[in-house]
Each structure stands twice: as structure tokens, then as C-alpha cells.
Structure 1
């Protein structure tokens, strides 16, 4: 039985100081009565400091008491102290003092109340005794022991049913088994019953010894491999098939937001199944993490063990810890992938204890497998594969990749020969080689989809013919044409001309293979979109949709994702015709996808949400755009948590939508969090994207009247974008327009006007007078001309923008109504009441609300009409309208104080 004698340091307390309360018995921290989510190690440090209030606790003492027996790094203590200080500072309790080169001290008065005593730190079970609280099971043999916890195999004497019991006396180990119980419920309730997870059957968290009761999942992988001879007798193909089952379990956990954080051979169990099949099972989720804790409420699950999210970022087995975890960074999908990559290496070399020392590549005689392991275990997480699913896809396609690699080698040799000839006869053209490489990469990437057709997968002759066609396309049609004597050589073509040349032979070269042709069209579409030519990009994407539809079916996931990409490209084009086609394509994609798939959590739903959000956003339909992007954000965090470019796209649009909805106070903290997020560092998503975030932060600060903060941020961002993309790029011009508006808001007309005029001129020159972007910048210039004194010029620009937007983009165009509302106000200011009323008559409440979701637009229009009528001498008509509108807007709290004072002043005067 477990020891019942209290140890010398067994007392547990509830500590109180200021608004802070820490209950050691529950491992619960509260500030002002609200639970605070904090990792376990900082709480242990807090406990030690509280037990020595007013005394200096050395760093060595803290390491010994908090990290005893664990491998750690120096800065983990400083990280824990930093987290405590952040919490205490928020509570107004600056109490932790650093004693240089020695340690830390907790100062100030502290209250404590005894909460009881903890049992001794050692459990003492013996084989044959009944399980405490489950007496019909007898302990058979121990499976593992750590300080304060034991794992035992137990059996029912008559039925011989086996169970595994994980015992704990409390503290960190109790939190671990509670966390495991919670996360196993998440896995079961979202994924259903699966054979590759060990089921949790019951638990006791009320009385010591606490325990978790699990089904028996079999022997651990090292024990089983030794007994079955799997490492010595199985060939590589069989080993890979078995490993893919382990990876599938990890990928399934990731798909519902569960990180394992301690993947290693001992946490993989193996049990026999029918037909002499072996089933690996993933176990021990006691150290795991739930990426989206809010899902617990959706599933109706109590978050046991998750108040303290996890023991430590650096927790786990050192051999399998990703470098970023040792450095103190948070666990991610890629850190689990790292551990899985180490396990793959050990499994293939036949030694489950061998570390990945320098030179490990010599142990694997397959170059593709070496590359796969290297991509899974790269020291830089940004360079690793994006997900376990990607590793599985690569391993599953090894035979096809080997065949393709031979063809690619032939293509590379042809490209190298052509490049040498070019260098010998003419000046170097590095962009030519870069363009060839880009198209080659597009072909290689699209080749992953070629194997999806069952008929084509079974046909070796088809694969050989396909690879030969790809080689001929690159070596003859593209590289050959640019070699001396080739059709394109003498013209010294630009990158754009090369892309045009690349697209010419597709029909004849791949007439019988729409899967390959679709992949090339998709690659060319992405290239043209990157170059800013949305029309050409859309053309290639239309062809890709048609070819993929022929190869895989119109409702296939790849076909539909490509169609949703076409919707985004058309939305960016910014013409009324493009918007109309985008809406048609979106409706068709949604119809083919079906409501069930779109409501589910899958990649198709993610791409659909992005496309819908982008189309709404480009049409300035802000509220539906915000809803769609928030749906995309939730899906991306779950399905593609490490996809930096996708995260950047989605979150930037959410922030932009908040700004356009007048919610700058919400946008500022979101944008600051984005700029501080390691996933969205400039090294991963690019300087120009980061500059875009800074521009939005500047817009938010401008909206809040913080012009001195906003201006340098906007100027620096615009300069960065201009350096990278050029002075006439649309993004550069939009950012310069923001700089002008900040000057305008701050009253610096002499600085605002020249910039605004330049922006409008450059946009018109590059995109034409009738583009939506040009017309919006025309209206923006009108505001500045009006504010800076030339009111006639300002009104003329506003009229041009308003009428042009309505004429080319429809009567309901959101931007057109925004400019019309401004025109009505400014005409009223000028005493041109008849014209102002005409403008009011054409305004639409739904369109204005779509552009600015602040409630009360019907009342604002009523107030504007009442104001104009009163100012024109029609008191009896205008006064009741204005008075009623003021009352309604006051109840809504939907108008700024300055505007309300102006309206009330008008009522008082007249």
C-alpha cells in the first residue's frame, strides 16, 4: 500500500497577497478571483519563493527544488521568473526582487492558510495486491516508476482481463494524469473510437492514491521489437508501412489540436490484431497540449489538468526534444514532427536507442529517405516539413518519387548543358535559369497529385510516358528554345515573355494527360499572380480547374481548391466583370463541395473560407468578410498551424476588417500580437508582408488620433515596401496614401497634398482611370483637397469617384456610398442644400453598413437630412428628424461626441 506518513515538507498552503491567491493543493493561481492560466514550473518557483518570503533563494536552490533530476538549460529559470513577474505586474504586485549573481527574493506581507498535508513522495505497491479502489483487479507487474507516480499492469483473476493503472500522489503527476484524461476525451469525442490510441476507461481523482485506468495497449515498441525480431527481420518496405501507422495516429491528434510533446519509442505500444497484423498505439498524453482550449466548452468537457497548460516547453525526453524546445520556445506541430523524424531514423537503422549524431546520413542508403528525415528533423523549425501529413505523403509516394527522380536528373543535366552554352555565348541571364527552376518546381509539386488517378497509378507505361513528356517540355520547348539557335534566344526575352513561351506548347505536349497539364497551368497561374498580372493568372487557373476536373472529377478536393484560388485571383483583379465571375465561380464551387464538407473541419473548408473572405473584402463588404476570415483563422490554426503565409494572409485581413469596421481599439492589440508572433517573423513571411502589418497598425493608431505614433510607423513601412516592390506597385501606393492621410488628419496639408496627388497619378497611370483602386484614390485625394482649402477641386474629385464607382461597379458599391455620404455633408457645409438632399436621396443604409458596421446608419441619414432641411430654412420638417435621430444614436452610443455636439448646437440655435 502507499505510504501514509507525511514527509517533513508535506504541508500545503493557500497563499494570499494583494489580489493574488495561490492554492498549492489545487495548483491553482487566481488574480482578483479569476483563474490564471500558467505553466507548472513558474508555479513551483512561486511556491518556493513564498515558503521563503523575505529570504534570498539562490538559483542553485531553485534548480534543485524545481528541476531536480531533469536536464535543463540556464535560461528556463529566468523564463519562469519573467512569467511570474508579468502576472504580478498585471495584479499590481511588484514583489520579486533579483539579487544579482545570487538568486531571487519575494518581498512584502503574505498570508497563508494550511490546506492539509501531502502523503509521502514514494508509492510502495507490490505484485499481487488489489488495486486500491478497484479491488477486483490485482497488480501483476510494474511498467514504470518516477518520483511520485507508478504505472502497473493489473489483471482480473478470473477473466484475465488486463488493465494499466497510472498512480499518482498529487502535484505535477496528478496534473499530468488529469490532462491525459481530458485530452483522451477530446480525441475520442472528435475522432471516434480508434485502435491507434490507448483508451482511458476510468479514473479516481478524489482520494490518494489517484489513478488513471486504461486499456492494455500491448508491449512498448522497444520490448515488442526485441521479442518479435521486427528490427532485424523486417525489410524496409514493411518497416515504413508500420511507421506510417504511428505517424497516422500523431497526425490525427494534430488534426484536432492536440500536441503529444513526448513522442518516443516507449510511448508507442504494439498489440496483436487479427490476420497476424500488428497495431501500434500512441499513449501517454500526460505532457500534451491542447492548441485550442476553447474547444473543451464546445465538446462539453471539463478541462481537468489544463488550468496549468503544461509542465514546461522543454519537457520530454532529451533525445527527441527539438532544438527550439531546449531553447525555451513553445511546442508546435513541428516539434512533434522532429521527434517523429528521430523515431523514423532509429526504426530504419534498427536501433531504437541510437542518437542522431553528425554523420547519421551514412546509416541510410536511400537519398530520398535521407532527405525526408532531414526535412523532418531540421534544426530550424521553419525549414522542416509543415506537418506530419506531409511526411506521410512523401513516404507513401517513395516508389513514384524514385522513378520521377531519375527523370528529373535527366532534366537537370539538360538544363545544366543549356546554361553552360548560354554562359559561353552570351551574357549571363540568371533570371532565365530562375524561371526554368520555378516551372520545374511547379511540375515536381504537381506530380504529387498524378498518382491519385487509380487507372494512372496502375499503369507503369503511363508514368514513364508522362515523365518523358515533362523532360521534353523542359529540355526542348523551354530550355531548348532559349539556347543559341533556339526560337527565343535572339529576342533576349523577359521573365514575362518566358512565362508566355512556357504556356504555348501545353496543349500539344500534354494533350492526353490533363493531370500534368493542370499542374503546369496552376504553377503558371501562381507565377503570373505573383507578378501582378491577375488576368493572365486567372486564365491559367481556369485551365487548371478544367484539366483537374477531367483528370480527377469536378468535385475532387484538388479541383475545388484550385477553383477557390481562381475566386481569390478574380477578386484581386478589381473589375466589375471579375467580381461577377468570382461570384459565379464561388457559387459553383460551393455547390460542388456541398454543405457537409464546407461545414466540416478540412482543407477544402479552409480554402473556401479564405476565398469567400477575400471576395467580400475586395468588394468592401466588411462584416461578411470578417466572418469568413474568422472561420478561416480557426481552421488554419487547427489544420495548418505552422503555415506562416496562410496565417499572415488571414490575420491581416481580420485586422484590416476591424479597422474598416471602426474597431481600431480591437485592431491595435491584435496587430501588435501579429508583429510579435514568431510564426509571422519577417524571415518567414517576408519584409513586405511585415511592412503591411505595420501599415495597418499605423492606420489603427491614426483612427485613435495617435498621429505622432502612427506617422513614423507608416513612413518606415512604405519605404520598405517601395524598396522591395518598387515605387509604382499597388501596395507601395496604398501605403503612401496612408502616409498622406496621417499628415491630413494631423493638419499638415502641405505634406499631405503632394503625396496624395502623386499616389493618384501613379495608380491611374498603371491601372487605368476606371479601376476601383484608381477611383478610390481619386476620392481620397478629394478629401485632402477639400480639407486643405481647394474645396471645389475636392468636391470634383469626390463626384468623379462616386459616379465612376457606381457606373463601373454597380449602384450598391460600398465605396461609392461612402463617398456619396461625404459629398452630402460637404455640400451641406457649402450651403448647397438642394444638391446635398439629392445626394442623401441616393444613399443606401445596407451599403453604408457594409462599409462601416457601426450601428445606426438609418439614424445618421435621418440626422443628415434633418440638418440639411433646418439649414435650408425648413425648420418644421427638419427639427423632428434631427431630434429623433440624436435620441436614437444616443441610446445606441453609436456617434462621437463632436458630431453630437454639432447637431445639438444646431437644435439649440434654431
Structure 2
């Protein structure tokens, strides 16, 4: 049975602790006595005991027991091993002196034990002065019994600690050999133990010990036995490279510092002693060569110089950095808090740069931590980071090198193709949630690790792990923002470009200055608002109206009678502004508080009525007020004013002037918002022709015109011409105005085009680039940042990452609320998207609430006027109420949406029939079955005819499939299962072109159609993907129940179960 530690001890027993034990005895002492006789043998044994005790005393060993041999307690295994080696030398001399065969065996073990000092009285009565109790004592005796003559065996911990000893700790290290003999089972010990040997060449056996009664070898084909590294040895196969000291160990094996005997150059050798870990070494070499081939030599990636992977001992040879890793370097400098924050942040920025470069060729590191960041002193005298240890790194799914293409060393492709998984673990403290959960790692996992590293660096403690409330540890708000952007729960919500992160970190001083100035401006503005609150509506208009005044004055300054006309224009505009401000003054209006909208309405009326005969004054004011309406999202009010201003005589608004170009683009934005895309494109084409004629094809004006044209094509969902215009605009701006607001806008709108083409990866890439530009100058760009977040949410929604989409949308929502835009149509649009994401997740009650809040904003802004976004909101809220089974409430909203679409020429043809189907479903649900079925069937017939007329039009096909599913839903509600089956069967045949795009919506459509026609086996894999996204709706859940297929997620408790 296993050996057990004693249960109780005397009051003098010391608490359990780690001890180093040496057990040594003479081999076959009984035969010695028989050969020499008692007298001579007694002399030999006494000299052995004297020599042993002299050595014990020299190294502070405390004798525990003595029979045929000794059990000795040492402070560390280094002293125990040095004593054993010296004792073997003494015994060899003793054997020569007596011309006899004599040898000792030694066992060394480190482990937990309890020591007990006995009292002098107890010692006087025969007790030992010091006793050791516990399993460690028994293990040491077993290891000693396993050893042969002249052999010293050590368990693994003792062996490893001894390897760290000084080079001269054991005398001349030149002939000392370090070996591993593998696993052995010891009687009474549950777990097999690694057994090693240290001995002098020519004296020690340096061979695996033979099995004995209480210790037997256990075969392990994964473990490489034989040679192990030790100070003073030459590296096998590397002539002249002598091992100096052990630097550390890990899952791969051991790392050692070596120095060349002739040149004195230092390098690191990393040895691998497990065949299962050899692939890790091969992968590290392969990926380093891939990186070097693709990127060239980089100073921020630790350099691998050579390797030995064809025979044991397997190793790689790397550059040596004396300062060590990040944590070691920091400790040597007095700790992280003793190092300037900017220096610490700079090192993290260099790590981000190195990772960004690796990601660019598809390499994921997956084990970013302080221990894998080496620090080197550069030529500038400053510390610099070197990213090291790609041992568990892998290639991303999309890397062109993944299947052996590109720069992969011959014969090593298998290191990447086999045994490689992006789920391989790293260090838990730095692992992203998806890694811990066993999901595939992406570049976002490396970004998460950088976030943890940045957090630790910011709070000056490498021992701190991320936990709720971490923000309180980071004083700098900008660093908090950067960290938060890296450690989001969902990978897609994290900062995607580590290159941009590095730039942000290096720009921290400038960002702090900009933030401080922005806060000072905000404080001054708040103070002004508090002092003159009644002026808020008028002041909101002042800047644009004054621009109008400046425009009028500048234009008339070119006239012959400049002085008189300037004065007249100035008096007219000033009088207009004074009158407008008086209307906003509560004293002048007897306490009436005007809103910005009311002030604008009165101003527009006055401009039309009072300035009709003064075009020099009227035109700039019409333009200014129209653009304010546009900014407020009041497009119907903006459009006639902007059009009237643009139709002004050339003498007032010269052809080719910046004012006319800006006005035309403003009007084009308005027409886009109203859904008048044909007119918008005409305006864009005019702007482009004029820009090319006056400024050239590669000018800023031409680029802005192309952005506007691309936006109009996006409005029509005509993505190919949108991409052509926007990509050309991006290329132009990258040359003449890089990283400015226009550049960021062009990238954002290009992403929208890519989304329409189902190019989600390209869309996310340019969105991250756009976001990085906007974040460089966040003041004044907050609404643009919110818009980018919303578009990123669209990408995530298409990918089926609905939770990630919701996270992006909530970030945009916070921006709008922080800016005080809770009643703006942009905020309404974001609320709509939030509600849509909730609806897709089956959270229908939350969706209903947010759809209703969004609709309330639109109603207040637009009244009964028709707008695309207004119509869509009505449709979505009605659809959500239908999903909740509240069909009677849904009907009036759906009918109002249909009426809105009927008034929008560009959208009527596809949306009015679609609304007819949704109305029909609500009618069936409300009890008007025959009328409802007639409506859904008419909807399907109309949209089927549209597909017949344009069989390759995917938008038409998508509309038809949605109408067919709505009809099938209604047929089932009405108890007409056969009608539902026929409708879905027809739709399946027409829906094939949609399958080329792996969008979540297409999977949902196809799954519903298949379930409806009882093809459940084909639907099963689609349902797994749908479940992973969290998608739910009432009809799909009903179809699943009918097919007997469970769902892995639960819809909102508020959803209808029919």
C-alpha cells in the first residue's frame, strides 16, 4: 500500500516545508566485510563515515540517520549533489588506498516533509537530534536503492534546481555529464517519477539503472532520455559553443545561455526533450522563417539564428538579450512603478507593431505575455521590445501560407498542417474568453492579450489579472479607452488593427493635450450655456448663418460698387440675425421658449418673405438654413431651400465656386435621404464634371463628388458603380489628403458598398481603418465614429454575430446621448438598429420598446411626411408586434408603412407588395382570414412576377422569398398547411442564387423553406449555424416544433408561442 505521512507529531514538530535530502550508502557492504574481515572492513567503513561527515559539515548538511549509509538534510539540492560527487571521489581514493573494489550509491530528492528537533533529554535517552517524517524521506531511500555503484540519481525537481547552480559549483564541469533515464515507478508512491543522473565521465556509470524490487522503469515513447544540458558542456553539434547557465524551462524543455569559446559571443539555446513538443519547436522555426521571408528582418521580433531538428538533442539557437524578458527587466529596474509610464507604454506599442506585422501574413501568436516579450537596449540607448516564442503560434484560416503555399521551409510544412489548432492554449491570465471557451482564436485573441498587458503596464503590476472594476486601477482615461477597446467580451467588438493601436499609444502625449483642450472648451461652453440659457436656440444657428453673411460679403466684394453693396448686405444680414435672436429671447417673447426647429422655421419664412428682392443676402441665408435643416435630419424642410439657393443666378453664386459645389453636395445628401436617388446621382455627376473641369480628376473636389456619387449608388443598392467611385476617391485622398475626414468618410461609405456585395472581411478592414483615422482627432468626429460603429454592427449582423452587433450599436448610442442628441434622427436610426438586433435574437419585447422609441423621434421630426427610414421603422415595429402575436396592434402600423412606401417612387415597386404580405399575415392573425390570405397570395404573385422579369436580381429574389415565407406563415396560421407547403416548394426553386452568399439571412430563409416542406435533414446543419448566432423568430420556432427539432437558445419570454 502507498506510504503515508504520520498523522500526528509532538509539539516540537516544525511545520511542513520543502526539504532537500541526500541518501547515500556503500554498495554491498556485507560482501566487503566478508572479503576483508571485521577489522580491516571496520577501518574502511570508519574512513568512509569520517569522509562523509567532513563533507556534510562543509556544506551545512545535518545528519538525520546513519546505519549502513546516511540520510542527510541540506538547504538545497546543489549542496546535496556537490556532496555526493565529492563523496564518490573520496571513496574512489579510499578504494585505491586499500586496493579493493568499493563504490557508493546516492539518491537526492526535494519534497515536502516535517522536521522535528528532539530535546537534549530525549537525545540522552537514545533519540536522534533531528528527525524527518513524510513521503519525501521514503522517496529518497527508494531512489538511492535504484542507483548502482558510483551512481548519483536525482528526482526531477532536484535535478532542475541543480542545473541552475554556478558553473563552478561542482568543481571542473568539463567532464560532468547530465542525463535523464525516464520514468520510474517507486513502491509505495502513487505517481511515476522522472529519474536523472549526474556524474563524472570515466567514473560514473552514466547509464539507466536496472530495475530493483522497489523501483521499476516505466516506458514512455514521448520522452527523450539521455543527454541533458549542464553548465560547462559543449552544445552537441555546435562546436565551440559552451553552456554557461540555465535561463529557464517551460513546456518545450529548457533554455540555456551559451558562449562561444573563441569569440565570446552569447546566444540562447532552447532544447526540447519530448517528442510531443518537438512540433512546437518546428512550428516556431517554420513561422519565423515565414515571417522573415514575408517581412524581412524586423527588430521587434526576436531572431532565430539556427536550429537542430533532425536528431537529438533537438534545439533552436536564438539571439541573446541580456536584459531578459519584460518582467525580469522591470524587476531589475526597481519594478514597473519605478519605470516611466511612457517608456512602459512604448514597449507595449512595439509589441503591437510586431503582432500587426505577424497578423499581416496570417500568423497568430496566441501566447502574448511579459515572459514572451524580450527587452533589448537599442542604438539610441533606450529599451526596445522583441516579441519571442512562436511555439504555439498558428496560421489564421485565411492565410495564404496555411496549406504550404508561399514561404514555408522545405520539409516543415507538416509542422503547420498537422497538430495545429487555433484552439491551442496559452497562458490563462492573457487568454481571451473565446480561447478559454475552446473556440477558434483569431487576431482578436492576440489583441485581447495586448489589452491585458497594457492594463498591467498601466497599473504597474504584472501580477494583476483583469476583473470587474479594473477601470479604477487605470488613472489615464485615454488608456482606459484603449484597454476597453482591446478586451471587449466579443472578439469583433475589439480594436482590430494593432498597428493603429501602436500609433495611438505613441501619440498619448498629443492625445492628452487634445483631450485637455477639448475639456476646457466644453467647460467654457457649459459656463456660457448656464449664463445665457435662453440664447441656446439662436446660438445654435449663429455659426452657419454668419458663414452665410461672410459668403454674401465676399461675393459682392468683387463687384464694382463694392463698398456700398457690402454695407447694404451687412446691414440686411445683421438685421435678419437681430430679428431672429429677438424671437429667441424669452423677455422679447414674453416667456415663450423657442426650440431650434421653431427658430429655423420662422427664419426660413422671413428669408422667403422679406429678402425676396435681395438675392445677395437671401441666397447665402437659404443655403445656411437649409444645411441646418439637413444637419437636424429635417430633409423635407431642407430640400426646397437648398434647391432654391442652387438655382440662383451665376452673378450671385458663380459657377465653379466652392460655395456652389458645397451647396450641390448638401442638396445631393438631402435627395439621398429622401430616397430620390436618380436626382441625387444627377447632382453628383454635375459636381464631378465641374470639379474635373476646374480642378482636375485627382483633386479634392473630384474626390468629394465621387464620395457623394458612391453614396447615392449605395442608396439604390447598386454596389458595383458605388465601389468604382469610392475606391477611386480613396486612392485620390490617400495621395492628396491622407487620414483626413474626407479619407475616413470615403472608407466608411466604401465599406457600405462592400457589405452590399457580401464582402464582409473587406468591409470590416476599411471600417477599422476609417475608425483609426477618426480616433486620431475625436473632437468634432464623434457622430462619424458612431456611424462607423453602426456600420460595423451591420457587418457583424450579416455574419450572424448579433451580440457583437449589439455591442457596437450600444457604443454608438452612448456617443449620441453624450452629445445630447437623444431627439435627433441619427439617434433614432441607432435605436432602430439596436431594436433590430434584439429582434434577431428573439428579444421581441425589448425590440418593440426601442422600435417604438425610434418611431416617436421620427414622428416628431417628420409628421406625416414620407421618408425611407420612417417607413422602415413603421414596418419593423409592426413586424415585431406580429412576432409577439399582437396582430391587431401591428395592422395600423403596417398599413401606414405601406402608405409611406407608396409615396417613395424609388422604393414603392419592391416594398408595397412586400407590405401587402405583412398586412395579410396580421389580418389572418386578427381573425380576418380570407382577406389576409388574399393579400399574402397577391404579394407573392406580384413579387414572383418581378423575379420572372429579372431572374438574376438577388434583391428581387430576396423580396420574393420573404413574401413567400410570410404567406406560408399566414397559411399555417389559417390551418392551410398544404398551401404553405406549395408556396415554400416554389420558393425553394427560385431561391438558389441566394446560396452563393453565406449570410445569416440566407441561411434562415433556406432553413425555413426546407422545414416547411419537411426536408429536415437538409435543414439541420443550417439550424446549427442559426443557433450559434442566437437568431429567433416566431415562425421559425413554430416550424422547429412541428419538425420535433429543439432549439439551443430560448427566445424572449415576451414572444408569442402559437
Q: TM-score, structure 1 length as denominator?
A: 0.49
Larger Cα-atom Rg? 2
Q: TM-score, structure 2 length as denominator?
A: 0.43
